[in-house]
């Protein structure tokens, strides 16, 4: 990972959890949990609750269909880490092929907001919630340089599916899984950076072209881009601005979809 704090900056409960799961599975903790469990009061607690509800809560879509939506989101955002992960999760959760017409219509809606009579509006809201999660994670994976170590794909995907994307509450503290709460936590609540900077990052207008690149082309970010930021900013500041930019792009896509459904 490109930020040292995401590998080694966790609080004691998270470090103990990583150590215990590593002993049991004989595989080190992968980059997504390490990122989401770093400073959960800022981002991870709310986001993990939202993820569990979107991916394994009650829904029009099967678990396999939601994993397929996630896979297609990763492909659109050029995130190889997430594309490989969700390809594996599709196999575990249940490959939805051949796709039912409702899923084909939902994919078209997520890509260009094309409405179809083949799928109910509440199902499209469920699909938007799935997309919201992975539009954030894909951008973070690209920006922070997530990579899979040997054994992590199999171990991590099995654990995600088995536990329904939920982590022990002692690791995260309280959370509330809603897009509005995600916006408040990441863009408005007190943190190391100002709300004004994070809101600018969410709109793609912070630190030169960096926030805009996270929003529109995160796959183009390199080690050198992040190293340049470290010359003027702390890793916590980089973490917050990157999360804000990723969440801002995802929330914008989500809101535009809801606006179409409202007519």
Q: Identify the band that residue 118 occupies on the pLDDT scale cut at 50, 70 and 90.
A: confident
What is the CB-side half-sphere exposure of residue 32 using CA atoms within 13 A?
Answer: 25
Q: For residue 226, is pLDDT > 90?
A: yes
Average pLDDT over residues 26-45: 95
- Asked if 54 contacts 126 with a C-beta cutoff of 8 angstroms, the reply is yes
Q: How confident is the model at residue 112 (pLDDT cuts 50, 70, 90)?
A: very high
pLDDT for 151 beyond 70 = yes
Q: Average of pLDDT values for 14-35?
A: 94
Residue-averaged pLDDT of the chain: 96
**pLDDT at position 117 over 90:** no
Specify the pLDDT at position 177.
75
Q: Determine how many CB atoms are found less than 10 A away from the CB of residue 31.
A: 22
How long a stretch of residues is the chain?
Answer: 263
Q: Where residue 172 falls among pLDDT bands split at 50, 70, 90?
A: confident
The pLDDT, as a whole number, for residue 175 is 64
Rounded Cα distance between 91 and 5, Å, is 33
Q: Where are the beta strands (DSSP E) in the chain?
A: none
Average pLDDT of the residues in 16-40: 94
Asked whether 221 and 142 are in contact (CB, 8 A), the reply is: yes
Tokens of 77: 């955002």
Does the pLDDT value for residue 174 go beyond 90?
Answer: no
Q: Are 171 and 14 in contact (CB under 8 A)?
A: yes
Can you tell me the distance from the alpha carbon of 115 to that of 245, in angstroms, rounded to the nearest whole number? 28
pLDDT at 236: 98
């Amino acid at each position: 990972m490109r930020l040292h704090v995401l590998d080694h900056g966790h609080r004691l409960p998270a470090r103990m959890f990583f150590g215990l799961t590593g002993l049991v599975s004989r595989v080190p903790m992968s980059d997504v949990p390490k990122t989401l469990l770093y400073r959960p009061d800022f981002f991870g607690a709310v986001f993990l609750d939202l993820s569990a509800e979107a991916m394994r809560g009650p829904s029009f879509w099967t678990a396999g269909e939601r994993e397929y939506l996630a896979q297609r989101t990763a492909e659109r955002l050029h995130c190889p880490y997430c594309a490989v992960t969700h390809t594996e999760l599709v196999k575990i959760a249940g490959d939805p092929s051949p796709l039912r017409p409702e899923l084909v219509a939902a994919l078209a809606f997520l890509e260009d907001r094309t409405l179809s009579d083949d799928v109910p509006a509440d199902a499209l809201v469920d699909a938007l919630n799935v997309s919201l999660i992975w539009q954030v994670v894909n951008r973070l994976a690209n920006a922070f340089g997530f990579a899979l170590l040997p054994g992590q794909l199999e171990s991590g995907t099995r654990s995600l599916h088995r536990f329904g994307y939920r982590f022990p509450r002692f690791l995260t503290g309280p959370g509330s899984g809603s897009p509005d709460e995600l916006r408040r936590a990441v863009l408005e609540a007190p943190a190391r950076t100002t709300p004004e900077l994070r809101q600018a990052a969410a709109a793609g207008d912070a630190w030169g072209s960096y926030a805009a690149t996270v929003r529109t082309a995160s796959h183009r970010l390199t080690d050198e881009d992040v190293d340049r930021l470290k010359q003027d900013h702390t890793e916590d500041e980089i973490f917050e601005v990157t999360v804000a930019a990723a969440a801002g792009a995802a929330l914008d896509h989500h809101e535009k979809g809801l606006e179409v459904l409202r007519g």
